[in-house]
Chain A
Amino acid sequence: MCPEPGTRIEDLLRDVAPQVLGALARRYGHFDLAEDAVQEALLAAASQWPADRIPASPRGWLITVAARRLTDLLRSEEARQRREEAAARQVPAGDSLAAGAGAPPDADDTLVLLFLCCHPALSAASQVALTLRAVGGLTTAEIARAFLVPEATMTRRITRAKQAIADGGAEFTMPEPGERAVRVTAVLQVIYLIFTEGYASTSGPSLLRPDLCAEAIRLARMLRALLPGDAEITGLLALLLLTDARRPARTSPGGLPVPMAEQDRGKWDAARIAEGTALVTEALRRGPPGPYQVQAAIAALHDEAPTAQETDWPQILALYEVLMQASANPVVALNHAVAAAMVHGPRVGLDLLENVGADQRIAAGHRLHAVRANLLEMAGDRDAARHAYLRAAELTASPPHQRYLNARAARLADQAS
């Protein structure tokens, strides 16, 4: 692969990182050591390339350097483990490596790598960290900053994750066809988690943190390129794009949350909306939709409405009913109640909320009370609405949300007097 002129070295490195690690792990095994070796090769490239020039085959250069480093790592393990001595000897010398490195990238390697990083033996936090490092090519320091944990903690989390993979005997091979669907679902969930972490933190001191939303979208694009026939992958990519499109409008200049109905739709990212809508339309043509496709279709309906009043609520309600049948998720039930209120009136929504509130997980959070307050306000029950807003404000720890909810309560008190 020849680098495009003007490509930033950092982006180039991160694009080829999973291919390099995939090639190394497939050839030599030892995923944990191979991963360390690739990180060191990436650091070497980042410091050497700007001064010299980008090699004709960045991927080949990185594989050669990482393989040499892996040889060193394996040799130093020799003293401890006899069997790895044999493996180290199998690593060919520099010349034959460079020849092999010129071979076209094997797309399957990146896919196997994704499956391994999202291995079911790992906790969600470990899957996320390992995916960002091994597939995303982020450094441990960057991942630590993104999740606001000390670098030493993140180093340990990644080391333990790699150890768990080694202990579980997982190998660098493609999962059996019968297992593929489950493993793809796990990868989708990890990408979605990376996105929501980024989306939730955008009102914080974001300039110090890497953009996890952009990273999740990049990973989803990568996965879609590897498995273009999978409609749920296309659905997830569409959902991320259609959600991210609203990001510029979802907080006020002062950092307060702005509800969708009050957002300046002119600030929404039209290119993302167009791309996301095209993707979800393409995915939905392929048969019964999975949950990401349905959520993407809902997001597309919101994004396409020129004003909040013109939102196609009957269609959104129908889609939430599809989602409700697929899973008993209380957040889905909450949104379903809102859609029902928009179609059939606030009292219908409030009745549905009674059932949602039976779930302890959702009753303890602020969202149920905020939605209830909003529907009570729509129904004209100002006093009850005011109390629900105040209760929601007590239950959230976020000062911007508290300010928003207290202001809604205060507005109702003013109208009453």
Chain B
Amino acid sequence: MKYMILVYASQRDYDAMVGKPAPGEPGWSGAEFAALGQFMEQFARDLAESGELVDTRGLTAPSQARRIRLANGAPVVTDGPYAEAEEVLAGYWIVECDSLDRAAGIASRLASVPGPEHVRARAYADVRPLAESRHELDG
């Protein structure tokens, strides 16, 4: 089975990470930022070596996003559609393993991700089984 592990962040989180924290919030130190990058590389490398990694990507800041929706039947594009504090998808891993428990076990390793304590305290990851075909969604 394939599972997707998803993590979330707001524009404010992205800004704090790249050295532009909101007033009153502590930012990320250079050491914390470097440690995050190294952790994520190692996490992906371990999954690749165990043969469980299918694909992984980080997503760029929500300010770079565009939203497309219909207005009177025609597609309309909006730049940067998210509010500053709104949490959006920030990255994902697709893993192939035997069970949801195993996938959750993999995701639990993310609990040791380095970063400022207040960011770690509110961070979470979701694990969701992927449908392999349309029929699985017909149920």
On whether the beta carbons of A399 and B18 are closer than 8 Å, the reply is yes
CB neighbours (8 Å) of B30 from chain A are 254, 256, 403
Q: Which range contains the number of B residues in contact with the other chain?
A: 20 to 34
On whether the beta carbons of B31 and A208 are closer than 8 Å, the reply is no
CB neighbours (8 Å) of B31 from chain A are 254
A410 at the interface (CB under 8 A from B): yes
Contact bitstring A206-231, B, C-beta under 8 A = 1, else 0: 01100000000000000000000000
A381 at the interface (CB under 8 A from B): no
7 CB-based A-B contacts, threshold 8 Å: A205-B45, A207-B45, A393-B20, A397-B60, A402-B18, A402-B20, A403-B17
B41 at the interface (CB under 8 A from A): yes
Give the docked Cα–Cα distance between A394 and B30 (Å): 19
Q: How far is the CB of B82 from chain A (nearest CB, A)?
A: 15
A150 at the interface (CB under 8 A from B): yes
Interface positions of A (Cβ within 8 A of B):
150, 205, 207-208, 252-256, 390, 393-394, 397, 399-400, 402-403, 406-407, 410
Taking CB as reference atom, which chain B residue is nearest A207?
B45
The CB with the most chain B CB atoms within 10 A, among A208, A255, A399, A400, is that of A399
- New A-B pairs, 13, CB < 8 Å, besides A397-B64, A403-B33, A407-B19: A207-B45, A208-B45, A208-B48, A253-B34, A254-B37, A256-B33, A256-B34, A393-B18, A393-B20, A397-B60, A399-B18, A402-B20, A410-B19
Contact bitstring B33-52, A, C-beta under 8 A = 1, else 0: 11001101100110010000
Shortest 3 CB-CB contacts between residues of A and residues of B: A254-B34, A402-B18, A406-B19
On whether the beta carbons of A402 and B34 are closer than 8 Å, the reply is no
B61 at the interface (CB under 8 A from A): yes
Taking CB as reference atom, which chain A residue is nearest B32?
A254
B55 at the interface (CB under 8 A from A): yes
The CB with the most chain A CB atoms within 10 A, among B18, B44, B60, is that of B18
Q: How far is the CB of B34 from chain A (nearest CB, A)?
A: 3
On whether the beta carbons of A394 and B45 are closer than 8 Å, the reply is no
Given A205-B41, A403-B19, does the pair A394, B48 have CB atoms closer than 8 Å?
no
On whether the beta carbons of B20 and A205 are closer than 8 Å, the reply is no
Partner among B33, B44, B60, B63 whose Cβ is within 8 Å of the Cβ of A205: B44
